[in-house]
Amino acid sequence: MYHVATELPFNKDDPQQLDKKRHLGNDIVMIIYLDCTQMTPIDTTTQTPTINTSSTSTTMTTSQFEQYIAETVVTQFNHILIVVAPAEYDENGKPTYYVQCAFKEGIQPFIPVVPSPMCRIKSEKLRQFMMCKLINGELSAYSAPSFKDKFQKTRQAILTSLYNDRIM
């Protein structure tokens, strides 16, 4: 299950939106859509993506991107972050998007591969690419050491409870 932040109820009495954080914070894979930021193609001389915010522009290296993610999204449960940002239009006038992926230690790489530091995808292929990336990412996270132990303990507790309730 994936949650869409803008579709979750807004509580005007809660300035921190704790209900939204609770739902989003329990997702293994999180998509961050940067709708007000446009990333331009990788500069071949520096191999870094450029991020334009309003009229100013700065260059963000892969390590800065990972630092941005680490400082912006602080969570114990989200293990994979996929960042999508609008790019320029293709030759047919259709929008394209840049996709970057960051994941915590212990997560094995999964397909479809996002070239470092990002890739550009046409809008008609984005949905299929993202669904494949989300599902495979979640499956990869399940085999990470941090999740394996949790799942084994949870399964053991459920089986023990079922056994005690039904057999005993």
| pLDDT 10s digits, 129-167 | 999 999 999 999 888 888 888 878 888 999 999 999 887
Examine the pLDDT at 86 and tell me if it is beyond 90.
no
Examine the pLDDT at 71 and tell me if it is beyond 70.
no
Q: How many other C-beta atoms can be found within 10 angstroms of the C-beta atom of residue 151?
A: 11
Tell which residue, 26, 25, 23, 1, has the closest CA to residue 10. 23
Rounded Cα–Cα distance for residues 95 and 97 (Å)? 7
Stronger pLDDT, 150 or 14, i.e. the higher one: 14
Report helix, strand or coil for 38.
Answer: strand
* Adjacency order of strands within the sheet including 119-122: 29-33, 80-89, 95-103, 119-122
Return all residues near 68 (Cβ < 8 A) that are at least 6 apart: 60
Helix H or strand E encompassing 19: helix 18-25
What pLDDT band is residue 63 in, cutting at 50, 70 and 90? low
Give the mean model confidence (pLDDT) for residues 33-61.
Answer: 43
Amino acid at residue number 147: F
Examine the pLDDT at 64 and tell me if it is beyond 90.
no
- The average confidence (pLDDT) of the chain is 75
| Percent residues over pLDDT 70 in the chain | 73
Q: Do β-strands 80-89 and 56-59 pair in parallel, antiparallel, or remain unpaired?
A: unpaired
Examine the pLDDT at 106 and tell me if it is beyond 90.
no
What pLDDT band is residue 107 in, cutting at 50, 70 and 90? confident
Contact 42, 48 (CB under 8 A): yes
Give the mean model confidence (pLDDT) for residues 94-123.
Answer: 82
Return all residues near 119 (Cβ < 8 A) that are at least 6 apart: 98, 99
Question: Which phi and psi angles does 55 have, rounded to 5°?
Answer: -100, -5
Report helix, strand or coil for 103.
Answer: strand
